[in-house]
Structure 1
Amino acid sequence: MYDVVATHSIDIEDFFKLRKQFPVIDVRSEGEFESGHIPQALNIPILNNAERVAVGTDYKQKGQLEAIRTGFRLVGPRLPEIIDAAQEVGEEFIVHCWRGGMRSNNFCQFVGMARQKTHQLKGGYKAYRQAALMSFEQRFEITLLSGSTGSGKSEILRALASQGEQVIDLETLASHKGSAFGGLMMPPQPSTEQFQNNLFEKILTLDPSKRVWIEDESIAIGKIFIPQPLWRQMNNSPVIEIDVAKEIRVQRLVNEYGTSNRDQFLEAMTKVIKKLGGQHFNAAKEKLLEGDMASTIDILLTYYDKAYRNNLDKKLSRVISKVTWTGESVDFVTAQLM
């Protein structure tokens, strides 16, 4: 007889405490994991993508009992591989599937026979997602950092964070800089679900009684949308404007995008043809093909500056201050803001 180590069932509150001590194993399929997962969780699927489809098909066509049999038949040959992978993680860990049901329970039973200690998350990944979505309803003392394109808002946010200020860097979390050119030289964007999970993890570190700095963004950052409750808070928060002369912004943007792939930059330009206007687009394209990035960006700012001013005009009642910056010492700006 196998002496199976009993698993310990934990709720979501216990999960947040225990994960500081133990690794987290997500036993859902690799496809589910890729769509969205708990950051730092390790994926050891008890059913892989193809097996999950097979079990689901049998469940629909033949019923639960036959689906269970199919699952055991498919998993059986891979049990040594699953147990070996779990042992590489450690001797004790947290386990979850989608709803804290059969998959995580079976996984815990299997590795328990190998004398590994497990904590099974009640409600599974679904419980984590519910906590994430609830966190976006939480009230924060938000201050928005605004400024024309090229004003260095991301640099300022990083400097504020390094000085101990609370910052939510939405563009870093979304892996996109917000504009039509925001995906250039950036890693692929996460799924919306994964973005929300990453945002939730950041929110967990914040003190709601203290100020939180966020860049003044559109609701969409590339293909990702800011959660509606947080977006509503941002739309009612005070705004501080960073004012940087156009020629300085042009140079900053040249430094940022000057090494980008020319074809990809041109493709991004086509996304704003209508807003930029055909004449301006053709002029910018000509300068780009000549290798004159400064003139290209100068023309593009014709559209972006106008769009920024129109957007800021709608928020004038919320603008509490304006800081003029030469684009040199970021410490000067942070001193003014703090």
Structure 2
Amino acid sequence: MKINIYDDMNKNEITYSELLKKKNYILIDVRTPKEYEESTIPGAINIPVLLDEERVMVGTAYKKESPEKAKLMGVEAISKRLGAITSEVSELAKKYDSIIFFCARGGMRSGSMTSFFNSMGYKTARLSGGYKSYRSFIMNDLENIVKGLTLITLHGKTGTGKTKILFELAKKGFETIDLEGMAKNRGSHFGHIGIPQDRSQKTFESLLYDAVKHRKNNVIVIEGESRKIGPIHIPEPFWNTMKNGVKILVEGPIEMRLDIIIEDYTGIEELKENLLDVAKKLKRYMDGNAYSKFIKLVEEGNIREAAREMMVEYYDPMYNKSLNKHDYQEEIYIESIEDGVLKLENTLKKYL
């Protein structure tokens, strides 16, 4: 019997809101590796129908020749890997009750895979509207799921260990969200150094949505950020919830702060070159003597004193202006990360 994988592609569809009610399923992103790398649905695995260069060729054929020609090219490309794809799907079917395929808009790529594997007896479905509909759903639903949420925001100058404190609080059972970790950026001009690449805006929003959607309670501790974390924008519903939440100011001695900064940046390849490169961008914001002193210290390899110069001459004055804009419900002074965790444990209890 000849199977037409393009038949009945509108059958066996499921919306993302319906999918959230299901258990023990696996999402398969059949888009190209490039599309998957840019952004996907959290937890999805990539089994591409077309590789990057194949999609370009098929798209060109669709525009310049005909849809029929593009389909034939697509089938030819898929057929080369169909055995390997079937093997992967077969293994996944042993672990999951259902397999959900999706592509960019819920079209040919996910439809063909759903139709083909359904014809072979696998329990599969296509995500209705594909990745585009998923994006629309989470961005609309984010405004709903932040209702009733209290965000406790830790504010403080560079090096007060807010991210490390969040990590330790999470280990003790407190609900936390590491926004900088999600963005893969520490949120300052130097925030990208030592981090392979920033996440895309779409990936950040997906991770944030999942963290809020699947929270265990309505009180979450986060780190204070500006509206932008590097190139990433915090979505408005979450940002408004931050502004209306509880604000805690964390302060500590400069030597402790320097210890934390040096620990964060030690071992990073080409650290000196990266520091000098970023410093050039900050030159216009710094006193000329302070800038020259910072450059000299970096070139000499005295990173600790260079960090002190940058903190005293640039970051602390800048943070003071920002910190003074807030009214704080709590203020704590810490001597170490451990001290900060202990003091915050006691402080947070009144909000739980």
Specify the code of the residue in structure 2 equivalent to 1:230.
Answer: F
Could you say which residue in structure 2 is the equivalent of 1:244? 252
Could you say which residue in structure 2 is the equivalent of 1:279? 289
Shift of 1:269: 2.6
The CA distance in 2 between the partners of 1:183 and 1:257, in whole Å, is 11
**C-alpha RMSD of matched pairs (Å):** 2.4
Distance 1:3 1:255, change over 3 A: closer
The CA distance in 2 between the partners of 1:83 and 1:193, in whole Å, is 30
Match of 1:14 among 18, 22, 40: 18
Could you say which residue in structure 2 is the equivalent of 1:82? 85
Match of 1:307 among 303, 318, 329: 318
Shift of 1:54: 2.5
Could you say which residue in structure 2 is the equivalent of 1:107? 113
Q: How many corresponding residue pairs?
A: 334
Match of 2:163 among 148, 154, 164: 154
Alignment deviations for residues 61-103 of structure 1 (CA, whole Å, 9 cap, x no partner): 3443443333234333433233233224335411111222222
Shift of 1:2: 6.3
Report which stretch shifted further, 216-225 or 141-150.
216-225
- Percent sequence identity over matched residues? 31
Shift of 1:314: 1.7
Could you say which residue in structure 2 is the equivalent of 1:60? 63
Could you say which residue in structure 2 is the equivalent of 1:333? 343
Give 1:176-187 correspondences, 5 Å limit.
176-187=185-196
Q: TM-score, normalised to structure 2's length?
A: 0.86
Give 1:223-238 correspondences, 5 Å limit.
223-238=231-246
Shift of 1:42: 1.4
Distance 1:76 1:320, change over 3 A: same
Match of 2:42 among 39, 50, 66: 39
Match of 2:261 among 247, 253, 257: 253
Shift of 1:113: 4.1
Could you say which residue in structure 2 is the equivalent of 1:94? 100
Shift of 1:305: 0.6
Alignment deviations for residues 238-275 of structure 1 (CA, whole Å, 9 cap, x no partner): 31100112232123222332443222232233332222
- Asked if the contact 2:165/2:337 (under 8 Å) is kept, the reply is no
The CA distance in 1 between the partners of 2:76 and 2:195, in whole Å, is 43
Shift of 1:328: 4.8
Structure 1: gaps spanning 5 or more residues: none
- Asked if the contact 2:161/2:337 (under 8 Å) is kept, the reply is no
Shift of 1:320: 1.2
Shift of 1:36: 0.8
- Asked if the contact 1:4/1:115 (under 8 Å) is kept, the reply is no
| SS of equivalent to 2:154 | strand
The CA distance in 2 between the partners of 1:82 and 1:254, in whole Å, is 47
- Asked if the contact 2:150/2:246 (under 8 Å) is kept, the reply is no
| SS of equivalent to 1:326 | coil
Match of 1:48 among 48, 51, 56: 51
Match of 1:121 among 127, 132, 152: 127
Q: TM-score, normalised to structure 1's length?
A: 0.89
